[in-house]
């Protein structure tokens, strides 16, 4: 095993407090995950980024999608993640707050930023436009359009995207239609209002995160095409949003990405929009598998393992809202193999809140003990950016792992 700390001490991989947004590339470690844990014996949750997984994921996604891919920064705002994505073909980022604008502008100064939150603070629009050169903004109301125009002093170089609400998507883990998006009739009106003041005009939607059915994208393209036709104005781009899924244990495997791309291009062709320039805003599908979270078992009570991270930290999606199961691997405190029978376990987070529990089940060796570590996979998506500091359990650290014989993910 080889350790390549970015700073001079491997014993301190980059520690993070609340928020978990990285400020520098983490220390690096070459070896197996077991070697890494044995070397560090992490007492706080440890994010383990595998560039060997992230870089090809970025390249594959860009190669498959016939348009511009903008990565949704909210999904994992780690600076190293943004930089690896940028180096591997993702040249645009979807940002949702002024903090994300600043972060992305710093991590990848040449990346194009799209400010895709439909309800933005006026100060955020002004700073994004005047200081960071952001020109692309989303809106789903006339009020937001006026706000963008006011805060950019009636700029002539705006790229405006009108976000459209979609019908219920029961194949998604979270359906976003309750929160954002104009109804298709209103989209047509907004397009008419935006056209005279927009250098570029687009329509966008988000079908819902972790969408398991590719035909939902085709349906959304059809609705967008009808709204565009009704508006009677020229629309320059269609942004099909995020929502592309990652594989999680306990769910049917998602259809492969090419099926999603085929559904989108097929629908565009049928609507006569084959030449429409396309964009998308993936988060989860790009980064989920790139990162694991190593947690420590602080106590065992039967099938319930009390661990040092939970739903107020990096494991929100494993809690009662989404109940996602994560792939897991036990890393024993003494490195020995005791027992091979697997049993289903539940997890309890470190806070005093009884909601901070994760039903799983998480399949682990029957003799898991206090002091063992668990590697949870899929922590690349919606984990680092969600960390809070409730009950004082906000600390985490991060490191990049290179496995000489190829990345070996937990199952």
Ligand X SMILES: Cc1ncc(COP(=O)(O)O)c(C=O)c1O
Q: Which stretch binds ligand X (CB under 6 A): 51-59, 148-156, 275-283, 345-353?
A: 275-283
Around Cβ 84, how many Cβ atoms within 10 Å?
22
The reply on whether position 240 binds ligand X by CB under 6 A is no
Taking the least distance from each CB to ligand X, the nearer of 74 and 329 is: 74
Candidate list 68, 159, 281, 356; residue touching ligand X; CB under 6 A: 281
Query: Are the beta carbons of 239 and 280 closer than 8 angstroms?
Result: yes
- Secondary structure element (H or E) that encloses residue 399, with its range: strand 396-402
CA 42 to chain centre: 25
3-state helix, strand, coil in the chain (%, to 5): 30, 25, 45
Stretch touching ligand X by CB under 6 A, among 67-75, 228-236, 260-268, 297-305 = 67-75
Minimum CB distance to ligand X, residue 37 (Å): 28
Query: Which of 72/368 has CB closer to ligand X?
Result: 72
Instruction: Report how far residue 249's alpha carbon sits from residue 345's, in angstroms, rounded to the nearest whole number.
Output: 14
Among 26, 241, 349, 380, binds ligand X (CB under 6 A): 241
- From the number of C-beta atoms within 10 Å of its C-beta (0-12, 13-18, 19+), residue 352 rates as exposed
Rounded least distance, CB 27 to ligand X, Å: 27
For tokens 């009704």, the residue is 230
Closest CA to 294 of 406, 392, 372, 389: 372
Does position 283 bind ligand X by CB under 6 A?
Answer: yes
Q: Is 75 a residue that touches ligand X (CB under 6 A)?
A: yes
Which residue in this structure is represented by tokens 């987070």? 349
Chosen residue from 20, 42, 45, 242 binding ligand X by CB under 6 A: 242
Taking the complex as a whole, the smallest distance from the CB of residue 285 to ligand X amounts, in Å, to: 6
Site for ligand X in 93-122 (CB under 6 A): 94, 116
Residue list 197-216, contact with ligand X (CB under 6 A)? 206, 209
Residue 187 touches ligand X, criterion: CB under 6 A: no
Please list every residue from 284 through 343 that binds ligand X, using CB under 6 A: 284-285
> Residue 292 or 383: which CB sits closer to ligand X?
383
Which residues are paired to 305 by β-bridges? 300, 347
Residue 404, H or E segment: none
DSSP state of 118: S
- Contact between 181 and ligand X (CB under 6 A)? no
Stretch that binds ligand X, among 80-88, 236-244, 302-310, 372-380 (CB under 6 A): 236-244
Cis previous bond, 361, omega within 30: yes
Q: Residues in the site for ligand X, rule: CB under 6 A?
A: 72, 74-75, 94, 116, 206, 209, 241-244, 281-285
């Amino acid at each position: 095993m080889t350790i390549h700390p970015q700073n001079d001490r491997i014993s301190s991989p980059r520690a993070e407090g609340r928020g978990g947004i990285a400020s520098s590339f983490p220390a690096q470690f070459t070896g197996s995950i077991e070697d890494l844990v044995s070397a560090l014996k992490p007492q706080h949750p440890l994010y383990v980024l595998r560039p060997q997984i992230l870089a090809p994921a970025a390249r594959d996604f860009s190669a498959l999608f016939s348009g511009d891919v903008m990565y949704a920064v909210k999904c994992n705002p780690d600076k190293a993640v943004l930089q690896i994505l940028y180096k591997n073909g993702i040249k645009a980022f979807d940002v949702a707050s002024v903090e994300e604008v600043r972060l992305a502008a710093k991590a990848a100064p040449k990346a194009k930023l799209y400010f895709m939150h439909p309800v933005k603070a006026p100060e955020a629009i002004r700073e994004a436009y005047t200081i960071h050169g952001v020109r692309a903004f989303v809106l789903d109301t006339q009020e937001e359009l006026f706000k963008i125009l006011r805060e950019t002093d009636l700029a002539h170089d705006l790229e405006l995207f009108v976000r459209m609400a979609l019908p219920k998507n029961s194949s998604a883990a979270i359906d976003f239609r309750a929160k954002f998006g104009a109804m298709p009739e209103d989209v047509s009106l907004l397009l008419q209002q935006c056209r005279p003041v927009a250098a570029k005009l687009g329509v966008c939607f988000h079908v819902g995160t972790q969408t398991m059915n590719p035909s939902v994208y085709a349906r959304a393209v059809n609705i967008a095409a009808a709204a565009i036709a009704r508006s009677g104005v020229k629309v320059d781009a269609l942004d099909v949003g995020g929502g592309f899924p990652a594989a999680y244990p306990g769910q049917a495997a998602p259809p492969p990405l090419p099926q999603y791309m085929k559904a989108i291009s097929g629908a565009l062709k049928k609507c006569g929009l084959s030449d429409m320039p396309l964009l998308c805003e993936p988060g989860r599908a790009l980064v989920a598998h790139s990162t694991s979270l190593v947690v420590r078992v602080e106590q065992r009570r039967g099938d319930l393992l009390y661990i040092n991270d939970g739903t107020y930290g990096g494991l929100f999606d494993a809690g009662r809202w989404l109940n996602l199961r994560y792939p897991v691997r036990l890393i024993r405190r003494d490195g020995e193999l005791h027992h091979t029978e697997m049993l289903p376990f539940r997890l309890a987070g470190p806070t005093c809140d009884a909601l901070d529990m994760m039903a799983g089940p998480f399949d682990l060796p029957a003799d898991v003990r206090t002091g063992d570590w668990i590697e949870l996979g899929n922590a690349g998506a919606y984990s680092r950016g969600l960390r809070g500091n409730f009950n004082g359990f906000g600390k985490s650290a991060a490191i990049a792992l290179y496995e000489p014989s190829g990345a070996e993910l937990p199952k």
